[in-house]
Amino acid sequence: MREAMRNGLLDQITTPASQNLLEPDAAWCADNGIYSQAYPGDGQYLRWLSTLPGPARCRFAVAPDVVADHNATLERSWPMLRRIREAGLPVALCAQNGATPDDLPWDYIDAVFLAGIVECVPCGWVPSVAYLPLDGCPNGHQLAEWKTSDIAWRIAAEAKAHGKWVHMGRVNTRNRMLKAKAMGCDSADGTYLAFGPDQNLPSLLSWLCEPVERAAVQMDLFADAATPALLGEVA
C-alpha cells in the first residue's frame, strides 16, 4: 500500500482518530471523522491539522458536517471554512442530502465532498443513520444513494465549472467507481482495500483505467495506510 503511495498510484487519507504517518511524497486529504463518530471538536481538529506535514500536498481538509442534513451542515461548517483556510489548507464542504448547486458557498470552499446517505426519491424521506443499512422507506419505495443522484451530478458539474475539486466518499465497488468517474470526480475513498489490500489493489487500479462514456478524467484514490481505505485520483 505505502509503495503504491510512494509511486503516485494512491493518495493518502488521514483522520484525527487514525493518527497515520503521512508518506513524505504522497498527496493527502484530511477527513473530520464525523461519520464514524470520532470528531475531536473544532479546536482539537484545527490543532491536529496544523501538525500535518506537507500542506502543499493536501488536496483538502473536510470541514465538520452533519450527516444527511444539508442545512445543518451549512450551519455547522460555516465558521470552520475560513479557519481551515487560514491554517493554510484547502477546505472541503460535505454535500449532504438536500444540497443543490445554488446553495453551496462556492467562493468560500476549495472542494466538494459528495457525501449523504440513501433516501427515497418519490417521497423525499431520508432515514436516520442509526437505521442503516435500509432498503426501503415506510411507504415501500426503494431507497437510492443521494451522492449518485441527478442533483449530485449537477453539484459535481457546478463544482467543476467553479474550478473546485470533487471527491466522492464511500466508493467500494467497480460500478460506483465508474459512476464517480463519469460524474467528473477527482478523487474517491472507501474500504475496498481493507478487505485484502494485496489482492484488491490490482483490481482497484484497473478500475481507474477503465474508460467511461464521458471524456476521460483523472481521479485520485486515497488510502489509509494503517487501515486501508482507498482515496485516490480517478482516471
Sorted by where each starts, the structural domains of the chain and their CATH numbers stand as: 2-115+150-234 (3.20.20)
Residue 46 cell numbers, joined: 484545527
pTM (two decimals) = 0.90
55: alpha, beta or left? (left if phi > 0; alpha if psi -120 to 50) = alpha
Q: Looking at the predicted structure, is the pLDDT value of residue 233 above 60? A: no
SS3 109: coil
- Give the model's pLDDT for residue 179: 94
What are the tens digits of pLDDT across the range 183-217?
Answer: 999 999 998 888 888 899 999 999 988 887 654 45
Q: How many CB atoms lie within 10 A of CB 17?
A: 15
